[in-house]
Structure 1
Amino acid sequence: MKFQGTSEYVATPELQMAVNASITLQRPLLLKGEPGTGKTMLAEQLAESLGTELIQWHIKSTTKAHQGLYEYDAVSRLRDSQLGNDKVHDIKNYIVKGKLWEAFDADKPVVLLIDEIDKADIEFPNDLLLELDKMEFYCYETQQRIVAKHRPIILITSNNEKELPDAFLRRCFFHYIDFPSKETMMKIVDVHYPNIQASLVKEAMEVFFDVRKVPGLKKKPSTSELIDWLKLLMADEIGVDLLRDTDRTKAIPPMAGALVKNEQDVMLLEKLAFMSRRRG
């Protein structure tokens, strides 16, 4: 199984190497990078390219590791016992399988995405060490040892909100997705909008990377935001001439709400425009 990207996902040679190395080593692939650089989409496209199922476990601040294994629905069992339901005698009826159990139970290797692991409690990664290493866990309620039929291909994403434990990092293959170069970005845009006007893309790309270079910007626009911005430019038929206007006294580019996502950055761009007017 070799991943080389897909018609809908442009994967750099370095990213292809990381994915294939992870598969060869049978270790989880830990992906970091700016939000919007395609970490989650990679899992979707990897599953599609391998012709297998994608199981997604989206992590929240309240997520606990055991929820990925299973949960025991004691409330439903108590209610059924009060109603005299016969299924109350089999505890298996009240075991809700988690995403890891689903992946372990699959009849062929699946892609398991553990998305934004850094959102959870600091102990969350450590609580999964044995399960991710040995590919098994014990269900105490049913007294079963659950062993993976096939080792899933595991992708774990992180936005660097908090540091991950060394013991967890030691069990992963790590790759940082660099922000795409202009050449790679051109290929990404071409995947999404194959018939877009080349001159519009060229000028939009100049504006986009200029905005990213602004010192002090709290949130730099990402790949996904560029795609959204181009869609708006095409929908409103924004001309190349408007983008080509190099007047520094103008505050922000047209439809900039797709690129600039907080008031601090808007104020920063407006301040730079004001300073340019004063110098003029």
Structure 2
Amino acid sequence: MKFQGTEEYVATPELRMAVNAAITLQRPLLLKGEPGTGKTMLAEQLAKSLDTELIQWHIKSTTKAHQGLYEYDAVSRLRDSQLGVDKVHDIKNYIVKGKLWEAFTADKPVVLLIDEIDKADIEFPNDLLLELDKMEFYCYETQERIVAKHRPIILITSNNEKELPDAFLRRCFFHYIDFPDAETMKDIVEVHYPGIRNELVAEAMDVFFDVRKVPGLKKKPSTSELIDWLKLLMADDIGVEMLRNKDSSKAIPPMYGALVKNEQDVQLLEKLAFMSRRKG
């Protein structure tokens, strides 16, 4: 199994190498990078390219590691026992399988995405060490050992909200997705909008990268935000001339709400425009 990218996903040579190395080593691939650089989409496209199922486990601040294995629904069993429901005698009816259980018991190797692992408690990664290492776990309620039929291809994403434990990092293959350069970004735009006018893309990207260079910006616009912004520019038929306008009073780009996502950054751009007008 070799990942070469897909028609819908532009993967750099470094990223393709990382994916294939993780598959060869049979290690989870830990992906970091700015939000919006395609970490989650990579899992979707990897599953598509390998013609296999994608199982997604989206982590929240309240997520516990055991939920990825299974949960025992004691409340439903108690209610059914009070109602005299027949299935109450088989505890298996009250075991809710988690995403790891699904991945371990699949009939062929699947892609398992553990998305935004850094959102959970600091102990969450350590609580999964044995399961990810041995590819098995024990269900105490049913007295059975769940062993992976096939080792899943595991992708784990992190936005660096908190540090991950060393013991966990040691078991992963790591790759940081760099922000795309101009040429790669053009390829990404072409994937999303085939045949888009080159002149519009060139001017929009100039504005986009200029905004990213503004010092003090709290949140730099990402790849996904550029894609959204281009869609708005095309929908409103905003011409190249408006983007090309270097008038300092027009320092904030049209439809800026797709690029700038908080009031501090809007105020910063407005302040820069005001200062430019005064100098003018």
Matched with 1:227 is 227
1:125-161 CA distance string (max 9 Å, x none): 0000000000000000001010000000000000000
TM-score (norm: length of structure 2): 0.99
Aligned position for 1:157: 157
Distance of 1:246 and 1:56 partners within structure 2: 45
- Cα distance per residue 1:179-223 (max 9 Å; x no partner): 000000000000000121110000000000000000000000000
The equivalent of 1:216 in structure 2 is: 216
Aligned-pair CA distance for 1:251: 3.8
SS at match of 1:249: helix
The residue number in structure 2 matching 1:170 is 170
Please give the alpha-carbon distance, in whole angstroms, between the structure 2 residues aligned to 1:167 and 1:80: 43
* CA distance in structure 1 between the partners assigned to 2:194 and 2:202 by the alignment: 14
Q: 4+ runs of 1 displaced by more than 4 Å?
A: none
CA distance in 2, matches of 1:122, 1:168: 11
Instruction: Identify the residue that residue 81 of structure 2 maps to in structure 1.
Output: 81
2:50 is matched with: 50
CA shift for structure 1 position 228: 0.2
Percent identical pairs in the alignment equals 90
Equivalent in the alignment of 2:136: 136
The corresponding residue for 1:111 is 111
- Is the aligned partner of 1:124 residue 2:137? no
| Deviation digits for residues 97-143 of structure 1 (CA, Å, limit 9, x no counterpart) | 00000000000000000000000000000000000000000000001
CA distance in 1, matches of 2:96, 2:244: 57
TM-score by length of 1: 0.99
Matching residue of 2:15: 15
Are positions 1:241 and 2:237 aligned together? no
The amino acid across from 2:46 in the alignment is L
Match of 1:201 in 2: 201
TM-fit CA distance, 1:249: 2.6
Amino acid at match of 2:191: V
How many residue pairs end up in the alignment? 280
- Aligned-residue offset at 1:250: 2.1
Which position in structure 2 is the counterpart of 1:41? 41
List runs of 5+ in structure 2 lacking aligned partners: none
Matches within 5 A, 1:49-68: 49-68=49-68
User: Offset of 1:86 from its aligned partner?
Assistant: 1.2
Partner of 2:260: 260
Which secondary structure state, in structure 2, belongs to the residue aligned with residue 80 of structure 1? helix
Q: Distance in 1 between matches of 2:217 and 2:39?
A: 23
> Match of 1:108, SS?
coil
